[in-house]
Structure 1
Amino acid sequence: MKKTFLICLFLFFVFTGVAQKYIEGRVVRVADGDTFTIVDKYKKKIRVRFFGIDCPEIGQDYAHTAKSFTSARTLDKTVKIEVKSKDRYGRVVGVVWLDRSTDLNLLLLNVGLAWDYPSYSKSREYHRAEAQARARKVNIWSQQSPIAPWDYRKANNNKKKK
């Protein structure tokens, strides 16, 4: 009976995603504010996309600032990624931890260099951080009408199709 319970509990954690998977690696390349590449302990290169946020796209205002912010905190440093999923491009999607208590995803929201991405995350903390940055009018929120990266991508994809 006890063995059956433990097996059921294990399967519950596996299938509900409660059992978190973490990966660690040294950041070797930063593509933009919310995407970088790590090399793990097995010398494997892994592309990582931040979970629950979206930084300005290359070509948008503050894209370079977001990339520089991420680079300054991660390049040539070891980070820990709390894996949430993989995206359609094969990138690991996760929460990026600089240390045990610094969530880089949240930090980008706090300084106004990212949007909360409610289509993918329902984090109240992320939503609140974006709202506070908007209220302070910092970085992207200092603009009159900032364009969300997903709208920017959609508009550019429509231009390419014409």
Structure 2
Amino acid sequence: MLRIIVASMLAAAALLHAPVSLGKGSSGTLTCTVHSVHDGDSMRVRCPGERGTIALRMEQIDAPELQQAYGTRARDRLRELCPVGTPVTIQASGRDQYGRLLGNASCDGRSVNEEMIRAGAAWVYNRYVTDRSLYALQDEARAARRGLWAGRNPEAPWRWRWRYQQR
């Protein structure tokens, strides 16, 4: 009986330390480290047990493209929230069409997705939003003219990309 208990405990310990499977249907909570921040809604993270880095795309938000008005400031805001080397907790929900991990991220106990909207550094991504409370944060940022909302006619990134692709 003791052998069975010990074997069960060893098997459970091995599962706890096994590499995180980040396959196509990835979901669950991961704790990783920020490796780099590319723009206002994506970063590369290093997760325990994984080789190399993993591309993470914040779900439900869409930040301006780097070439777009406010794009570099949105990236810089994300870098402030999640500096390189910082632990990041990711509530993963799957992968996008480019193979990036999708999720809600938290750095220093703060929801990055919410903070980017609250700061006026990103839009609620209408096409993919599931948390309707993000709209209230966006409305507050717009009313206070924070971030991109201080501009005269801020253009949603999905519209900007569509317009840019039409050229």
Alpha-carbon separation, structure 2, partners of 1:126 and 1:90: 25
The residue correspondences of 1:28-39 to structure 2 (distance < 5 A) are 28-39=35-46
**What are the superposed Cα offsets for residues 71-116 of structure 1, whole Å, 9 maximum, x if unpaired?**
122221110110122100000111001144x101000100100000
Aligned partners of 1:110 and 1:79: how far apart in 2?
19
Q: Hey, which bits of structure 1, 4+ residues long, moved more than 2 A?
A: none
Specify the code of the residue in structure 1 equivalent to 2:67. Answer: G
2:103 equivalent to 1:94: yes
Q: Where do 5+ consecutive residues of structure 1 fail to align?
A: 1-19
CA RMSD after TM alignment: 1.2
Give matches, 1:4-153, under 5 Å: 21-44=28-51, 45-74=53-82, 75-100=84-109, 102-153=110-161
| TM-score (normalizing by structure 1) | 0.82
Name the SS for the 1:29 alignment partner: strand
Select between 129-138 and 21-30 the one with higher mean Cα deviation.
21-30
The alignment covers a number of residue pairs equal to 139
- Where structure 2 has 5 or more consecutive residues not aligned to the other structure, the ranges are 1-26
Q: Which amino acid aligns with 2:140?
A: Q
Identity %: 27
Deviation at 1:43, TM superposition (A): 4.0
TM-score, normalised relative to structure 2 = 0.79
